[in-house]
Structures are given as structure tokens and as C-alpha cells.
Amino acid sequence: MLRPRRNRRTPAIRSMVRETMLSPANFILPLFLHEDVEDTPIASMPGVTRWSLESLVREAGEAHALGIPAVVLFPKIEEALKSPDGKECHNDDGLVPRAIRALKAAHPSLCVITDVALDPYNSDGHDGIVKRSENGDLTVLNDETVEILCEQALCHARAGADIVAPSDMMDGRVTAIRDALDAEGFTDVSILSYTAKYASAFYGPFRGALDSAPKEGDKKTYQMDPANVREAVRETLLDEAEGADMLMVKPAGIYLDVIARVRETTTLPVAAYQVSGEYLMLKSASAAGWLDERAIVLESLTAIKRAGASMILTYFAKQAAVWLRPS
Ligand code: PBG
């Protein structure tokens, strides 16, 4: 008789036949930062903190020491510095470039990734420049936005970023950013493109963390419709042709089919972002004692990797790295 259970009989056998191995090397830790000298716990994301520059460097060092190769930075920008064109995003003395320089000085082997989009800097709270027509309709301008995103990517590259990650979902931005980087000699700076970023309600807690929610309207004219997966294939083919080095799917846990489709479509590395709402669901159910935190988090991360993501952006990166340490 055929007995698949023989391959599950003991921990030793199970470890030999395991198909998906999770490692801290798969993790990218998203870090929030602000201009204050105090660290602020983020109310919408229990267990997550918005760091001062000094604490950011310490936190990134701790993560790196646990085997996490990379961090990605998300700044909270003071209201007074926000403008319709978000030009603070390419200020060489701005918060993000200063953070990149401090991180690279303290931890040269840490890979520093930056988010390229206007939402933290834009007074309208959108990822791009907003135009209001006479009848009051809002349009997020594509090509005008891409020009500023190129400035932002260059600013991050000048400060020493290893990878820039455009999360704005404008058309044509990967080619434009690649050309801008190459023209300035930053041929070694990689592009991790948010290829299939959905207009998801799961970003709610993140926008609370940065005060970056759109003042008006939603992001549905640029982020993808959660109902679509063929469109993710189209975005994958475009980003690959435009010269992206790595592709991302976001959110992760409830978009495993999208991760699998993107994985099948490209030979490039695939990343997935376990977003703030996914974090909050797992965290709050665990805090209430309803789910076993360690088991549920490792299972969710394993599922994301099994679906095809080799890089996982997760707020659980440090905790999971500790859990995965050989005992
Ligand atoms: C903005 C950006 C968002 C996230 C990452 N980059 C929010 C948005 O698009 O509104 C969400 C991350 C999360 O929810 O954890 N460009």
C-alpha cells in the first residue's frame, strides 16, 4: 500500500523531506523613522516603533546581527515640509538621506532599501502629484510624478542606498529611474519594483503610522484592483522589460496566488510584503491569546515563501529570526 505518512513519521524524516526552508536571510525589516529624538510606539501597530535616527541605527544593527540582510525605510515627514509636488523627497539633507548615510556608516554590510513614492511628502497624501480639474475631480499625474520619483531615487543613491523600491505604481517609472541612475553613474544601485501592488484595505495601520493617508479620494487609479491576477502578469512582463532587478507583490498572505503567478512568469527574484494589516491581524489575535504567535507567524511566512517569494518584507523579521535560531 502507498503510505505518504511514512515521510512524516519522525522529526528527522520530516526535516529531510521539507520543501520550504525559512531563514532570516529571506527577511527584510521595514523601519519607521521620524525627526524627533524620542522613539514613539505606533498606536495602530502594537509592537512597532517609529525611531529617532540614533535608535534606527541601533535597531537596524540588532536586526543585522540576527542574520537579517536588509532594512527598508519609511519616514514620517513633518507637516510643514509637505507640499503638492513633494519636493522634500529629494532634499539631500532630508531625513531619509541622513538615515541612509548613518546606517551605511555604522553597518557597512547592511543592505539599505528605500521606498520611492511621494505619499509621505505630498500634502495631498497621494503617491503622485494631484491635479484637480474644474469639476473637482482629482487626477494623479503620471509623467510629472515619474520625473520627481527619478529625483528621489537619485537622492537616495547619492546618500548610499543599495536598492531603491518604487512603490508608487506609476507607469514607466522603472525605465525612467534606471535611465536616471545610469546617467549619474549609479549603475550598481538596484531597483526592487513594487510590481503588483494592490489597492488594499490592509495598508490602513501603516498610513496611521506615518499620517500618510490620502486627504481625498483613494489610490484605485494607480494601485491594482484586488480582483485581478492577469493584470499582475502584465505588470510583471513590463517591469522585467523595463529593467527591474527584483519584483514585489503586496500584500502577501492573502495574495499567494499572485505570488505564484509572478514566480512562474519571471526569472527575477520575487519579494512579497506582509503588510501592516496582516501584521495587525496576527499580532492582535496572538495578544488576545487566540492564536499561538510563534506558530502562526512562522506558518504565515513559510506559506509566503512556498508560494514563490524568496524575499519577505515583514514587521515580524526580528522576532522570526530569533525563533529560527538553531537551539
Ligand atoms: C506607500 C506605501 C504604503 C505601504 C508601503 N509603501 C502605503 C500605501 O500605498 O498607501 C504599505 C505598507 C504596509 O501597510 O505595511 N507608497
Closest CA to 197 of 146, 157, 232: 232
CA–centroid distance, 207 to ligand 1, in Å, is 7
Q: Is 197 annotated in the active site? A: yes
Please check the confidence at residue 211 and state whether its pLDDT lies above 90. no
The reported pTM is: 0.97
Residue nearest to atom 2 of ligand 1 (CA): 167
Count of CB atoms within 10 A of residue 145's CB?
25
* Beta-ladder partners of 130: 140
Of 42, 118, 119, the one to substitute when testing ligand 1's pocket (max ligand atoms within 8 A of C-beta) is 119
> Residues 219, 250, 305, 318: which is the catalytic one?
250
Please list, in sequence order, all residues whose beta carbon lies within 8 angstroms of the beta carbon of residue 242, skipping any fewer than 6 positions away. 172, 174, 175, 178, 193
Pairing of strands 27-33, 49-51: parallel
State mean pLDDT over 128-152. 93
pLDDT in tens, 227-286: 999 999 999 999 999 999 999 999 999 999 999 999 999 999 999 999 999 999 999 999
Give residue 102's identity as a one-letter amino acid code: A
pLDDT digits (tens, 9 = 90+) for 287-301: 999 999 999 999 999
- Residue nearest atom 10 of ligand 1, based on CA coordinates: 203
58, HSE (Cβ side, Cα atoms, 13 Å) = 8
Alpha-carbon distance values, 27 to 100, 318, 322 (Å): 19, 9, 12
- How confident is residue 136, by pLDDT bands cut at 50, 70 and 90? confident
Q: What is the pLDDT of residues 300-309, one digit of tens each?
A: 999 999 999 9
Nearest CA residue ID for atom 6, ligand 1: 167
Of 162, 215, 214, residue with least CA distance to 192: 162
Q: 3-class SS at 235? A: helix
CA–centroid distance, 108 to ligand 1, in Å, is 27
